[in-house]
Structure 1
């Protein structure tokens, strides 16, 4: 009786510490990807880069975020997570500081890849710890909310704040933000993965990862990110055929971003729920409807409705999609692989969508059909992945 009463507060305290860790690190680590539009102009100006070179740099950074998954298979269950967090955060700080001093583009690419590998390694820890909380959907909701909130803040503040500064000032600011992350590392249980309770004979079947469900869940994540990144990368160009100017489109996308933050907050507040399957179906339905509304060069009102629903739906789906994967395994490697699926989907989506637009002579129809198919397939796979 007493041990149970003591375990509950300990669990609550552990969750709060994990939530704090997720909040700070997710807001800071994704900053460099969120401010890509701000950094791009500075890089072109300072290094006289071509658009291809800038695109290559950002692709390498995003790729490194995902490839951090591969070495994590070796260290994730062997290292103390606090030690790993301090180590990788130190690399992020050093990488950003060094990036600010470099004047050679080749060396800059190396520095950015190393920095992103370290940041991606911490993302693996975030995803794994989120799945081990008593309320994974809430943890994943926090992960999404603070990325979006920081992204909205940065895109509003950074262009004006660094208007007359070089790219070094931006990288050094990122280093300063990463220093703040060191203050919350001690909030997590460093031995969370190494001291997992041994599996008893009776619990063995439950702890064993259901391979087909896991494969379906990973496919759902991959297709989800392929579809959303493909549409979101080109969504600003879709209404151009209706004569909608860029300023109106930008305003619509700003409103959509706010809607995305609100939906992620809703998912965070709801947390883990027996209605997860229902919420997933509703979210995927909204995402599918929004894509359908984008067909045929929509006028401003239809485009605004589509963009807001699209952003609201995908940020609402994501916490429940990730918690579906975390429910399939108490270990860290499935969530580690999920991180690889996220990065792969992010990389594939824009490339395939761009090729479909180009092959269609500038028409977005092929791209939208591809995205709609991906969304529906992702929905089907995630329903297969649900535990009974």
Structure 2
């Protein structure tokens, strides 16, 4: 069995190339998600946008990032991954350059949607290659860490660097950074998904005849990811409102949420160091326990200290769970498992804040129903995550 399972993974040299590809592209491409708060004010001022128009722009841009999953079902296993990456990166570069010159809001929306579709397509490749490494948990840890590191740089650097600039300067910076990604494309094997015998699902099914039906595990695994993102995005989107309702002033809550990025970065670093392990089930249990604790601490109008504890525990648990949850999906096998996972991530980000907002409004501005909904989602996600764990064999 050991030989069979090992043959389905690239060798160490190939893994290093994949890790580099993941680190560079995830840091740059996820800027489309991370800079939204930074450029919102500049876009509103430059194009005289109402809040609904600004929200529509970001919704379409982030939605396109996720919907890139759908066409990927057709091309992912039929094309050379290097070629697709070069083409999509070129589209990202061109889209960001063009966005900086546009003075029509309608054309800007079109440019951002096309750019995000290209960026989302590369993300599909990132997630799929992560599952191909010998240590998926480490690969997904790299994926999360470098996003968060770029997020920290943006949080502290962008407002200072671009305080007196137009939004065009930010878009052109994104184009320049995407250009810097091109040299690492050659570090991946473009034919890895088209080569016969690389289907992990077939290898795992033949090796583990006593495992549950793959389709059932596939559905349960996707449910774990969807519920995870619905729960965390629903809470995290309203953290500022939660602190305000508890009487915490905005500067203090902003400082607490900024400090919470530190444990958020530390958690995937720990996961990256630990890598995949027979103890993954216990790592997930510990992470979900932390996530549930973070939600529980937010009940009942928490004071400053309890709110700070909740924010830091919540962010640490969130980013610690993610690499192990994603690596659990790769065990299910199948060429499109990570492609489908990307769709669940985008769907969770879309559903979570919307559902939480509706619950807050329906309860007259209270947060109890929303927090209870998120806590239930955490428990259900935990149950699904445990159900898809591989059996530990001695």
The two structures share one fold, judged by TM-score above 0.5: yes
The 8 Å contact of residues 137 and 319 in structure 1, kept in 2 or not, is answered as: yes
Residue range with higher mean Cα deviation, 8-17 or 300-309: 8-17
Distance (whole Å) between structure 2 residues aligned to residue 124 and residue 202 of structure 1:
22
Post-superposition offset of 1:207: 8.8
Distance (whole Å) between structure 1 residues aligned to residue 198 and residue 56 of structure 2:
45
- For 1:296, which of 289, 300, 318 is the aligned residue? 300
- 1:324 equivalent in alignment to 2:325: no
2:3 is matched with none
The 8 Å contact of residues 10 and 132 in structure 2, kept in 1 or not, is answered as: no
2:248 is matched with 244
Distance (whole Å) between structure 2 residues aligned to residue 266 and residue 201 of structure 1:
32
1:354 is matched with 357
Q: Please list the CA deviations of residues 224-270 of structure 1 after superposition, one character each: whole Å capped at 9, or x if unmatched.
A: 00000000000111122332111111111111111110011001100
- For 2:226, which of 210, 214, 222 is the aligned residue? 222
Task: Describe how 1:249-268 pairs up with structure 2 within 5 A.
Answer: 249-268=253-272
- The two structures, once aligned, show a CA RMSD in angstroms of 2.0
Post-superposition offset of 1:354: 0.7
Distance (whole Å) between structure 1 residues aligned to residue 358 and residue 64 of structure 2:
23
Distance (whole Å) between structure 1 residues aligned to residue 36 and residue 242 of structure 2:
21
Q: TM-score, normalised by structure 2?
A: 0.94
The 8 Å contact of residues 9 and 134 in structure 2, kept in 1 or not, is answered as: no
Post-superposition offset of 1:26: 0.3
Post-superposition offset of 1:202: 8.1
1:379 is matched with 382
- 1:11 equivalent in alignment to 2:14: no
1:144 is matched with 144
- For 2:371, which of 359, 368, 371 is the aligned residue? 368
1:3 is matched with none
Distance (whole Å) between structure 1 residues aligned to residue 363 and residue 8 of structure 2:
58
Distance (whole Å) between structure 2 residues aligned to residue 375 and residue 203 of structure 1:
29
Structure 2 SS opposite 1:113: helix
Structure 1 SS opposite 2:195: coil
Distance 1:172 1:110, change over 3 A: same
- For 1:309, which of 287, 308, 313 is the aligned residue? 313
The 8 Å contact of residues 9 and 133 in structure 2, kept in 1 or not, is answered as: no
The 8 Å contact of residues 8 and 203 in structure 2, kept in 1 or not, is answered as: no
Distance 1:125 1:295, change over 3 A: same
Distance (whole Å) between structure 1 residues aligned to residue 182 and residue 39 of structure 2:
25
Task: Describe how 1:182-221 pairs up with structure 2 within 5 A.
Answer: 182-197=182-197, 205-206=206-207, 210-221=214-225
1:57 is matched with 57
Distance (whole Å) between structure 1 residues aligned to residue 70 and residue 43 of structure 2:
30
Distance (whole Å) between structure 2 residues aligned to residue 318 and residue 74 of structure 1:
27
> Structure 2 unaligned runs (5+)?
1-6
1:132 is matched with 132
Post-superposition offset of 1:385: 1.2
The 8 Å contact of residues 66 and 346 in structure 2, kept in 1 or not, is answered as: yes
Structure 1 SS opposite 2:164: coil
Post-superposition offset of 1:359: 1.1
Post-superposition offset of 1:322: 0.2
Structure 1 segments of 4+ aligned residues over 2 angstroms from their partners: 7-10, 198-209
- For 1:339, which of 342, 367, 383 is the aligned residue? 342
The 8 Å contact of residues 213 and 386 in structure 1, kept in 2 or not, is answered as: no
2:282 is matched with 278
Distance (whole Å) between structure 1 residues aligned to residue 294 and residue 235 of structure 2:
11
Q: TM-score, normalised by structure 1?
A: 0.95
Task: Describe how 1:51-130 pairs up with structure 2 within 5 A.
Answer: 51-130=51-130
Distance 1:187 1:207, change over 3 A: farther
